[in-house]
Structure 1
């Protein structure tokens, strides 16, 4: 009887490289499937319908009235700024303008007032500004 025994020699380095490349290939395929399959909603933005125009809302800081002006078109928030901010108010409240710029930038980028991060140093001012912006946007919403 003749036995036909075959001896196969594997090098451990080749097995490890093959396993690593197979795992990377599977990971790449899963990543591509996750990114390109329908139903992936992370990057989608829901836009509201607005009546185009410029809308204002008032806020008061220590008996000083300030007007927040929000400019919108049909589907986008275009700009947010103070309408009547003078030097005396900026001097008395130095955090007002930087807080407005930070909040306006976040809102214009996301086109929503949800999940806006207020600064730690000016959380009261930021929340007051955000509430005023929401009032102006509520005026702008289409029925």
Structure 2
């Protein structure tokens, strides 16, 4: 009787190394899949605004200023005064810095929540923010 039995000797150390290497390889592949998959947050996000330029009025004493807000589908792109001339800027020197400060905060967060008012002109900042809210209400999709 001729038996062809083969005996394979495996060292436990080699088995452990193979299992660890296989686990690390699977972990690396999963990590690469999650890191480099396409991110479609922009594609899934519904439009919040109708693209365009929207205006709202702010009245300081007898002077009417127009706040102009430019939006696209989901972002606030620009906030500025459209009719601020030199005489109004001279009469109200804190108006331009106030709108620039508010606009910067809105650009960063793309939200009107948690806006910090300037300590120099909190009431003017509130008026400007209310005008921006009014303009954005015009831009909202139904």
TM-score, scaled relative to structure 1? 0.66
Q: Unmatched 5+ residue regions in structure 2?
A: 1-44
Aligned residues of 1:103 and 1:126 also touching (Cα < 8 A): yes
Give the aligned CA root-mean-square deviation in angstroms: 1.4
Q: Secondary structure at the match of 1:74?
A: coil
Take 1:112 and 1:103, find their aligned partners in 2: how far apart are those partners?
Answer: 11
Q: Unmatched 5+ residue regions in structure 1?
A: 1-45
The 4+ residue runs of structure 1 with deviation greater than 2 A are none
Take 1:47 and 1:91, find their aligned partners in 2: how far apart are those partners?
Answer: 42
2:87 matches 1:122: no
Q: CA deviation at 1:121?
A: 1.1
Aligned residues of 1:68 and 1:133 also touching (Cα < 8 A): yes
2:73 matches 1:65: no
User: 1:10-29 maps to which residues of 2 (within 5 A)?
Assistant: none
Aligned residues of 1:47 and 1:76 also touching (Cα < 8 A): no
Taking structure 1 as reference, are residues 108 and 91 closer, same or farther at Cα in structure 2, changes over 3 Å only? same
Q: Deviations over 1:21-66 (max 9, x none)?
A: xxxxxxxxxxxxxxxxxxxxxxxxx986100000000010011000
Take 2:100 and 2:46, find their aligned partners in 1: how far apart are those partners?
Answer: 21
Q: CA deviation at 1:69?
A: 0.2
Taking structure 1 as reference, are residues 118 and 97 closer, same or farther at Cα in structure 2, changes over 3 Å only? same
Take 1:80 and 1:48, find their aligned partners in 2: how far apart are those partners?
Answer: 19
Question: Looking at CA atoms only, which structure, 1 or 2, has the larger radius of gyration?
Answer: 2
User: 1:12-51 maps to which residues of 2 (within 5 A)?
Assistant: 49-51=48-50
Q: Secondary structure at the match of 2:128?
A: helix
Take 1:66 and 1:86, find their aligned partners in 2: how far apart are those partners?
Answer: 10
Take 1:128 and 1:99, find their aligned partners in 2: how far apart are those partners?
Answer: 10
